[in-house]
Amino acid sequence: MTGAALLAHGTATGPPAWLIAAALPLAGGALYLAGVVALARRGAGWPPGRLRAALAAAGCAAVALAPPVTARADTFPGHVAQHLLLTMLVPLLLALSAPVTLALRTLPRRPRRVLLGALRSRPARVLTAPAVVVVLELGSLAAVYLTPLYGLLHASAALHLLVHGHMVLTGCLVSWLLVGADPMPRRPGTPVRLVVLVVLAAGHAVLAKTLFATTPAALGAAGEVRRGAQLLYYGGDVIELLLAVAVMAEWWRRTGRRLRAEQRRELASPASDRSV
Amino acid sequence: MAPPADPRARALSGRSVGTGVLIGVGVAGFVDEVVFHQLLHWHHFYDRGTSAAGLVSDGLFHAFSWTAVVVGLFVLADLHRRQATVPRRVWAGGLTGAGAFQVYDGLVHHKLLQVHQVRYGVDLLPYDVAWLVSGAVPLVVGLLLLRGPARPLADVRR
């Protein structure tokens, strides 16, 4: 996101744009790989699916921050494409990669204890409450796109960075709550998570159609805003579909484990309920 | 010998209906989007006459319909895994769900909240009637399929 903000406003001096863009995803990917290698040295495995998700997240972030995308971020469709990648797809892939679990397994004792404390802290519990996540996500979207804030973003690089960072982090909260690969204090059950997903997706759909209908002048020319709004609508659908699959895949694995345990118990006591 | 009356099999007949409804609603929503919005371009993405309530109802139904397909397919796979699928009830739920969605879309979205019309620049009455009939027929067939024997797939194959 640093790269996005800098690139959106052009850096005449300083390091080349592609370098800034590549640095953050590369660093994140390298850190993750280091964790997996550390586990392997101990002889412990790490699911290859999670590693693939982490690498895909780094790749998507790199694409979203790459010059061809950021060069178009001043137009509304370009901005929406970047928004979809950075605040929705990358958080989903990151959540699937379970980086907190990896950190808890590989960190030395003291930082590990700090991380555990943070996870159990009151702020963490409040921030991950479903209602709070929904209000944060939809509230931020409304604040950015339906108030004059969007216009101000392009006037101040610092504000731009702050708001983008906030939206990426909010997207991460949503994905972490829904996906369920990492530990989370009092994570709600599958039905509540599905309701959260439907409410958020409906909010996105309403926002996209509202933008299509009102075409706020701050976002750009009316035609561009309409194209961007449709990209937001359909692109958002695709990623929310993936989120629904992620929620249900976790349910499938969890109920499958329970089912196998039940079947084992039945096999262990064949006489009890098979009196045919 | 007749298979034992397993109390759990009866409970999963209800779940077969439920997963059918989810898939039915989702498929109807998907067909609406693909055929009428994308292929025929009869429906408009946004209609100037849309009220705020219409926009919210449309958004909720849109989000609900494709989430429902995903949830429905996973629950159906789970029923198969437990060998407790009742095909007749899945069809009953599917047709009821698809028909109900179609009727709701035709009455509430097209007429009451005016989210968008079936088609523009034509006499709407035959289109609206066709729309409602295409929803009412599967709805009635689905409700009829709710009656009759509910045998799980494992027995049907036997």
Q: Establish if A263 touches chain B: CB-CB under 8 angstroms.
A: no
Closest CA–CA distance from residue A71 to any residue of chain B (Å):
29
> Is B12 among the domain residues?
no
pLDDT in tens, A129-162: 999 999 999 999 999 888 888 878 777 778 888 8
> Is B109 among the domain residues?
yes
> Is B57 among the domain residues?
yes
φ, ψ for residue A220 (rounded to 5)?
A: 135, -170
> Is B5 among the domain residues?
no
Contact B63 A205 (CB under 8 A): yes
Contact A202 B50 (CB under 8 A): no
Q: What is the DSSP string of A186-229?
A: T---HHHHHHHHHHHHHHHHHHHHHHHHH--GGG--HHHHHHHH
CB neighbours of residue A167 within 10 Å? 22
Contact A205 B82 (CB under 8 A): no
Query: Using alpha carbons only, how large is chain A's radius of gyration in Å?
Result: 21
Number of domains within chain B: 1
Domain holding B85, by residue range, is 19-157
For every one of its 276 residues, what pLDDT tens digit does chain A have, with 9 covering 90 and above?
444 444 444 444 566 666 766 788 899 999 999 999 999 999 999 999 999 999 999 999 988 888 888 888 888 899 899 999 999 999 999 999 999 999 999 999 999 999 999 999 999 999 999 999 999 999 999 998 888 888 787 777 788 888 888 999 999 999 999 998 898 888 899 999 999 999 999 999 999 988 988 888 888 888 899 999 999 999 999 999 999 999 999 999 999 999 888 888 888 876 555 444
> Is B8 among the domain residues?
no
Please state, in angstroms and rounded to a whole number, the distance separating the CA atoms of residues A86 and A81: 9
Q: Which of B4, B66, B71 sits opposite A237 (nearest CB)?
A: B66
Whole-angstrom CA distances from A269 to A266, B8, B84 are 5, 18, 21
Collect all residues of chain A within an 8 Å Cβ-Cβ radius of residue B63.
Answer: 197-202, 204-205, 240
Summarize chain A as % helix, strand, coil (round to 5): 80, 0, 20
| H helix intervals, A66-98 | 67-70, 76-84, 90-96
> Is B3 among the domain residues?
no
Contact B45 A197 (CB under 8 A): no
Contact B71 A213 (CB under 8 A): no
Collect all residues of chain B within an 8 Å Cβ-Cβ radius of residue A251.
Answer: 74
Q: Establish if B66 touches chain A: CB-CB under 8 angstroms.
A: yes
> Is B141 among the domain residues?
yes
Quick one: CA dihedral B54, B19, B8, B152, positive or negative? positive
Global ipTM: 0.81
Collect all residues of chain B within an 8 Å Cβ-Cβ radius of residue A259.
Answer: 81-82
Query: Exposed (0-12), middle (13-18) or buried (19+): which is B124, by Cβ within 10 Å?
Result: middle
Q: Which residue of B has its CA nearest to A246?
A: B70
For chain A, domain boundaries: 2-264
Q: Establish if A240 touches chain B: CB-CB under 8 angstroms.
A: yes
Q: Establish if A255 touches chain B: CB-CB under 8 angstroms.
A: yes
Closest CA–CA distance from residue B110 to any residue of chain A (Å):
17
Low-confidence ranges of chain B (pLDDT < 50): 1-5, 7-10, 158
pLDDT of residue A276: 44
Q: Which of B1, B55, B82 sits opposite A209 (nearest CB)?
A: B55
pLDDT in tens, A18-40: 676 678 889 999 999 999 999 99
Q: Which residue of B has its CA nearest to A210?
A: B55
pLDDT of residue A4: 46
Please state, in angstroms and rounded to a whole number, the distance separating the CA atoms of residues A128 and A221: 37
Name residue, tokens 């067909």. Answer: B31
CB neighbours of residue A25 within 10 Å? 22
Under 8 Å between Cβ of A7 and A56: no
Contact A198 B60 (CB under 8 A): yes
Residue pairs between chains A and B whose CB atoms are closer than 8 Å: 70
Summarize chain B as % helix, strand, coil (round to 5): 75, 0, 25
pLDDT of residue A57: 95
Q: Which of residues 202-221 of A touch B (CB under 8 A)?
A: 202-206, 209-210, 212-213
> Is B1 among the domain residues?
no
Please state, in angstroms and rounded to a whole number, the distance separating the CA atoms of residues B109 and B131: 12
